[in-house]
Homo-oligomer: A and B are copies of this chain.
């Protein structure tokens, strides 16, 4: 009833939105069964919305040496470091679904070093957190260390680019007080069958 708002800013109604944005939202709703609040809240500014999702797709949908689950791990780990509730909950759900693992998202959000993931994935997340928290310290040694685990330079751009993009995303979510949809909290926790 007195449900708290999902943003500090006005949330546009679908009917008000430009066609391309409404189409994008319809597409995600059909796929997910609900509209994640990031789409509704960022639609307050259509130009920034378009750039945001174009950037997101460029990184998250491209061909890459990283699996989709690995890319979501980067999102969850860096959002954990930034205390961004929306991204931890929403991308934690996506990670559970992609990885078919009900535990990995909570593990990675709290402390990737103790998560049930491979040493290669731990190296990946260690670098992503360095980009998130102290990118000024990145040096050639970091690239060398990742190459030892089989990452190409393009993979490293992917890791760093995702960490950098969610540095933006986490800050926008914290700025506008974006609230996660209730659906995300449970998604991927119960094995299907």
Contacts and interface: CB of A to CB of B under 8 A. Distances in A.
A103 B136 contact: no
Contacts of A136: 82-84, 111, 113, 174
Contacts of A139: 113
Interface stretch (A15-23, A28-36, A53-61): A53-61
A44 to B, nearest CB: 8
A interface majority secondary structure: helix
A48 B59 CA distance: 8
| Across the A-B interface, the 4 shortest Cβ-Cβ residue pairs | A51-B55, A164-B171, A83-B136, A135-B174
Given A51-B55, A84-B136, 13 more contacts: A4-B116, A9-B153, A52-B55, A55-B55, A82-B135, A84-B135, A114-B177, A131-B175, A135-B174, A136-B174, A167-B171, A185-B189, A189-B189
Interface of A: 4, 8-9, 45, 47-48, 50-52, 54-55, 57-59, 62, 80, 82-85, 88-89, 102-103, 106-107, 110-111, 113-114, 116, 131-132, 135-140, 143, 153, 157, 160-161, 163-165, 167-168, 170-172, 174-177, 182, 185-186, 189-190
